Amino acid sequence: MQEVILKAFFIVDNFLPIIDPYSCTMSSSVVSSEFVHTGYGKNYVKLIQLRRDGPVHYVKEVEVNTQITLNNHRDYLFGDNSDIIATDSQKNTTYILAKQFGIETIEKFGMLMCEHFLNKYRHVVNAKIYIEEAPWRRIEKNGRQHVHAFVMSPESKRFCEVEQKRGEKACVAAGIKDMKILKTTQSAFRNFVDDEYRTLPDVDDRFFSTIVYCRWTYNDVTGLDFDRAWDIVKSAIIDTFAGPPETGVFSPSVQKTLYLAEKNALALIPQVDTIEMTLPNVHYFNIDFKRFPKMEFGGSKQDVYLPTDKPSGNIQATIRRSQTSKL
C-alpha cells in the first residue's frame, strides 16, 4: 500500500498567515510537506529472565527499545488512532514473548520480536528492535562457578539492532560499547600535519587509552552462534590493541589500530559483512613536577599522569567486505 502523502498549498498574494499552534484545525493549509519517516515504540523496557535447571540458575537482564512503522498516516493526518498499537502494548509484548520463548541470545530475541509485530499486525510494514544486555557473570571461587550467584562485571556492554521490513529478511547487527582499554607504552603519534595551528609535538611513546564502540552487521545468520561471534569480535579488538602478552604490539596511530581490528574481525567471521568502530582518545597528560622545586623526586620509580576525558579526539571508520571476497 502506498504511503499517504500530505501536500497542502496556501498562496494569497504575499500575505503570510498567522497560525495558532494550539489549534487542532485549520481552514487552509500553509505549507507543502510530505512524510519522510514515521514510527513509534517503547524505550527502556527492562526485564530480567531467570531460568532454573535444577540447582543451576541462569539470568539474562536486558533493556529493549521497540519501534514499528505503519502502512498509513491516519493517526498523524486525521487523529485517527484505530491502527495504533500502543507503546504500552509493545512493552507488554516484550514481557510476554520473553515469558513464552525465553531469551537465548539478544539477537534471536530481537528477530523474534520483529517477526511477531509483522505477523500479528498486517498493517505494520517495518519493525526495529534495539537491545542491550546487562553484563552479569557467575561468581567464581577456586576455579568453580557458583550455581546461582552472580556479579555485575561492566567490562563492556553487548547490544544488538534488528530491523525487518515486510516481505524481507531481518537485518541483524551486533555490537560492543563502553569497553575502556589502556596500554602504557608501544603507542606513538608523529609526522602529522605541521602548520601554524599545530601545538602538539611528535610523541614516540605514550599512553593509549580509548573507549570502544563497535557495531557490525551480518550477511547471513543461518545457524550462526551469536554468543561465539560476539566473543570473537571482542577478542579480535583486544588482541589487535594489546598484542602478545609478553611483548605487546606497536601502534603508530589510533587509526591504524582501529583498521587492523576491523580487518581481523572480518577475517575471523565470514558472516560479518560491515563493521564500524569509534575509538575516542582518552588522554593522560604528564604532570609538571618542576612546579615543586623544593621537592626531590630523583629516586622515585613512579610516573604520575593526569587523566582527562574532555576534549577527546574521535577516530571512526567503517569497512565492509569487498564484493570480490564474497565470490
Q: Verify whether residue 283 is a known catalytic residue.
A: yes
C-alpha 11/C-alpha 31 separation (Å) is: 9
Q: Verify whether residue 210 is a known catalytic residue.
A: no
One of 87, 217, 274, 278 is an active-site residue; which one? 87
Omega before 245 within 30 of 0, i.e. cis? no
Per the CB < 8 A criterion, the answer to whether 48 and 59 are in contact is: yes
C-alpha 187/C-alpha 184 separation (Å) is: 8
Q: How far apart are the first and last CA of the chain?
A: 36
Per the CB < 8 A criterion, the answer to whether 43 and 65 are in contact is: yes
C-alpha 139/C-alpha 151 separation (Å) is: 6
Omega before 311 within 30 of 0, i.e. cis? yes
Distance of CA 254 to the CA centre of its chain: 20
Residues 6+ apart with CB under 8 A from 218: 172, 173, 174, 224, 229, 271, 272, 273
One of 42, 60, 91, 108 is an active-site residue; which one? 42
One of 73, 157, 177, 283 is an active-site residue; which one? 283
Residues serving a catalytic function are 42, 87, 283
